[in-house]
Amino acid sequence: MSSYRFDFITAPTSDKPYQLLYVASSCYDKDWNSLMHTHKCTELFYCVHGRGQFHTSDGTFDVKKDDLVIINADVEHAESSMASHPLEYLVLGVQGLNFRFDSARGDAGYDVLNFEQNRDELLFYLQSILREVDTQEFRYEDMCQRILEILLIQVQRFANVKICTSLLAAEKQHSTNRNCALIRQYIDEHFSEPITLDTLAQMVHINKYHLVRTFQKEYGITPINYLIERRLEESRFMLKNTNYSASQIVSLLGFSSSSYFSQCFRRKEHMSPSQYREMYAHKED
């Protein structure tokens, strides 16, 4: 099985009550079954090629090429692939969103819709999101959110489904702990400045260990690791789009040393900053 997943760390600027959390692609090269599981978000699962099955607490149904499986939050499910026709699919995870279906199966919070007649349109938007996260150009998170919004309109046009962004869904989306939200916003705006965990804790007047626990619970990452991710995100942009040296990038983004920057970058990208810059220079050539 080969797979790829990208999680959005920076929240996009959008007036919509829903948010794109992640995009993933997978391809199974043999007969495979996943375990039953749930998500705290709605998943849109598009079958690009192959055949398989989806399993829920209510039963099992077949999926094939051009099927879009929509699974609302907290619906238990699993997927399996046929060895003779391995599944290849793309997945979007969206928070603050629920679908309403007219089919009997839709009462259970999921449904499968075939988009054979509209394959090109759906694949265009899904692959556009993948391209955005691959290149990570300026404000790519916002671009992905906008593409998602268009994709959802297309899904409603092509299929008999309705999107629910009720007050309850919006409240869930915006129920983030206020202190954590303030810390995240501060990091987003000041990530190039000297920031310590003690500084962040003092800002919101709470114990720093409590801050780490609550922030990680809300966002799935600690405050300091989020700070590092924001700096690395900006460093990738600088390496691709500016002539700043590595030492200049270290100074501009607040890394403690060139060696620490290189260590963090290698851990994330599996290559050095210079190799990353060279790779994108070759792509442009």
Q: How many CA atoms lie within 13 A of 243 on its CB side?
A: 0
Is residue 192 exposed (0-12), middle (13-18) or buried (19+ Cβ within 10 Å)?
Answer: middle
Q: What angle do CA 8, 236, 223 make, to 5 degrees?
A: 50
Quote the distance between the C-alpha of residue 277 and its chain's center.
24
Rounded to the nearest integer, the mean pLDDT of the chain is 85
Q: What is the CATH number of domain 176-284?
A: 1.10.10.60
Return the closest-CA partner of residue 145 out of 165, 115, 125, 120: 125
Which of 43-52, 81-90, 247-256 is predicted with the least confidence, judged by mean pLDDT?
A: 81-90
Q: Do domains 2-169 and 176-284 have the same CATH topology?
A: no
* Eight-class DSSP state of 34: P
Tell me the backbone φ, ψ of residue 25, rounded to 5 degrees: -135, 140
The more confidently predicted of residues 201 and 14 is 201
Tens-digit pLDDT profile for residues 149-198? 999 999 998 887 888 764 444 444 444 467 888 898 899 889 999 999 99
Per-residue pLDDT band for 67 (boundaries 50, 70, 90) equals very high
The domain spans of the chain are 2-169, 176-284
The answer to whether the CB of 77 falls within 8 A of the CB of 36 is yes
174: part of which helix (H) or strand (E)? none
Give domain 2-169's CATH superfamily.
Jelly Rolls (2.60.120.10)
**Hey, what are 112's tokens?**
């499968």
What is the per-residue pLDDT for 50? 93
Query: Around Cβ 197, how many Cβ atoms within 10 Å?
Result: 16
Distance in angstroms (rounded) separating the CA atoms of residues 103 and 70: 13
Beta strands in 159-216 (DSSP E): 161-164
pLDDT of residue 159: 85
Which of 5-14, 25-34, 52-61, 223-232 ranks highest by mean pLDDT?
223-232
